[in-house]
């Protein structure tokens, strides 16, 4: 083979290798782009929040209402804003705090299920010893609910927390007339979002923000957890 033909062959091979390499890089880029889209979009937001409920006392709500009240009667439930420890309580009237937010979320979910026809917020955030009263009869909440002609009252207490990734609440549903506790339990929720951002392959595509606060997501999931526990047909262990 003469030198000119050899040179032409080298140029041809170099061009082919260049084209193959370009095609491979383009394909790899497309795969990475599709992967990043699927990773950031494949999960429902609530998949990254996990919740657990332990019921201390559970009377099936639907059955209880059927036995205690006339059929199709407009049963009324009043929800007292959840008590909260000092480190998560509201600062003023313009900053209502987690206790109020959680109460409104629980109200909306209970109404959406349709088991209880009337669910309202009792507009009284605090009174002397409200936080301590949760384990001592809830007489203040019951009396307020009785005066407002509610059939049941829902009271709750948020646990003190030192984490931005978890939230827990104790909840009771009490019949106003006789003081019987229909449901009592503890619900706990945590977010896995910060852990996900540190785990491959998510860490390749997600921007890590360790200072991000997921309070609203935790409140949403905690409200689902509480309502699911109250409406469960069988006791959640």
- CATH number for position 84: 3.40.50
How far apart are the C-alpha atoms of 145 and 75, rounded to whole Å?
A: 13
Q: Is pLDDT at 161 greater than 50 in this prediction?
A: yes
Burial class (CB in 10 A: 0-12, 13-18, 19+), 168: buried
Percent of the chain whose pLDDT exceeds 70: 64
The reported pLDDT for the residue numbered 71 is 85
Q: Are 223 and 51 in contact (CB under 8 A)?
A: no
The reported pLDDT for the residue numbered 39 is 42
Q: Is pLDDT at 59 greater than 70 in this prediction?
A: yes
Q: Is pLDDT at 151 greater than 90 in this prediction?
A: yes
Q: Which of 176, 191, 174, 197 lies closest to 225 in space, CA to CA?
A: 191
Residue 142 and residue 59 share a domain: yes
Q: Are 147 and 168 in contact (CB under 8 A)?
A: no
pLDDT confidence band for 44 (50 / 70 / 90)? very low
Q: Is pLDDT at 113 greater than 60 in this prediction?
A: yes
Strand pairing category for 152-158 and 166-175: antiparallel
Residue 154 and residue 87 share a domain: yes
Residue 236 lies in a domain: no
For residue 156, give Cα distances in angstroms to 46, 61, 72, 82: 23, 17, 27, 5
How far apart are the C-alpha atoms of 126 and 132, rounded to whole Å?
A: 11
Q: Is pLDDT at 229 greater than 90 in this prediction?
A: yes
Contacts of 105 (CB under 8 A, 6+ apart): 219, 220, 222, 223
Residue 121 lies in a domain: yes
User: Which of 4-8, 17-21, 22-26 is predicted with the least confidence, judged by mean pLDDT?
Assistant: 4-8
Residue 18 and residue 116 share a domain: no
Q: How many residues does the chain have?
A: 237
Q: Are 169 and 82 in contact (CB under 8 A)?
A: yes
Residue 214 lies in a domain: yes
How far apart are the C-alpha atoms of 230 and 37, rounded to whole Å?
A: 38
Residue 129 lies in a domain: yes
Residue 120 lies in a domain: yes
Q: Which residue has the tokens 């959406």?
A: 112
Residue 191 lies in a domain: yes
Query: What tokens appear for 88 in the block?
Result: 């998560």
Q: Is pLDDT at 237 greater than 70 in this prediction?
A: no
Residue 103 and residue 20 share a domain: no
The reported pLDDT for the residue numbered 13 is 44
Mean per-residue pLDDT for 21-39? Answer: 53
Residue 18 and residue 64 share a domain: no
For residue 196, give Cα distances in angstroms to 34, 86, 94: 19, 30, 34
Residue 65 and residue 175 share a domain: yes
Residue 31 and residue 67 share a domain: no
Residue 91 and residue 11 share a domain: no
Our count of domains for the chain comes to 2
Q: Helix H segments across the chain?
A: 3-41, 61-68, 97-113, 130-133, 139-147, 193-197, 202-205, 215-231
Average pLDDT in the chain:
76
Domain coverage including residue 27: 1-42
Mean per-residue pLDDT for 47-64? Answer: 86
| 218/22: higher pLDDT | 218
Q: Is pLDDT at 181 greater than 90 in this prediction?
A: yes
Residue 161 and residue 77 share a domain: yes
Mean per-residue pLDDT for 14-27? Answer: 57
| 142/30: higher pLDDT | 142
Query: What tokens appear for 38 in the block?
Result: 């699927």
Residue 134 and residue 67 share a domain: yes
Residue 107 and residue 53 share a domain: yes
Residue 237 lies in a domain: no
Mean per-residue pLDDT for 54-83? Answer: 92
Q: Are 106 and 187 in contact (CB under 8 A)?
A: no
Residue 65 lies in a domain: yes
Instruction: Tell which of 10, 25, 42 closes a domain.
Output: 42
Residue 116 and residue 50 share a domain: yes
Q: Is pLDDT at 177 greater than 50 in this prediction?
A: yes
């Amino acid at each position: 083979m003469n030198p000119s033909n050899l040179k032409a062959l080298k140029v041809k091979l170099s061009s082919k290798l260049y084209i193959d390499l370009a095609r491979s890089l383009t394909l790899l880029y497309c795969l990475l782009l599709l992967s990043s889209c699927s990773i950031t979009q494949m999960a429902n937001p609530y998949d990254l929040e996990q919740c657990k409920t332990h019921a201390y006392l559970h009377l099936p709500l639907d059955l209880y209402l059927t036995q205690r009240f006339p059929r199709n009667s407009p049963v009324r439930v009043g929800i007292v804003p959840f008590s909260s420890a000092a480190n998560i309580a509201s600062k003023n009237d313009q900053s209502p705090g987690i206790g109020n937010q959680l109460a409104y979320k629980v109200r909306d979910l209970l109404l959406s299920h349709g088991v209880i026809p009337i669910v309202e917020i009792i507009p009284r955030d605090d009174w002397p010893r409200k936080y301590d009263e949760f384990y001592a009869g809830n007489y203040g909440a019951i009396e307020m609910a009785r005066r407002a002609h509610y059939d049941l009252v829902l009271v709750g207490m948020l646990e003190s927390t030192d984490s931005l990734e978890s939230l827990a609440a104790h909840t009771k549903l009490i019949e106003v007339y006789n003081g019987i506790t229909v449901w009592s339990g503890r619900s706990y929720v945590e977010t896995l979002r910060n852990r996900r951002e540190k785990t491959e392959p998510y860490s390749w595509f997600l921007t890590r923000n360790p200072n991000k606060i997921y309070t609203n997501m935790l409140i949403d999931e905690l409200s689902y957890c509480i309502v699911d526990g109250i409406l469960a047909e069988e006791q959640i262990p």
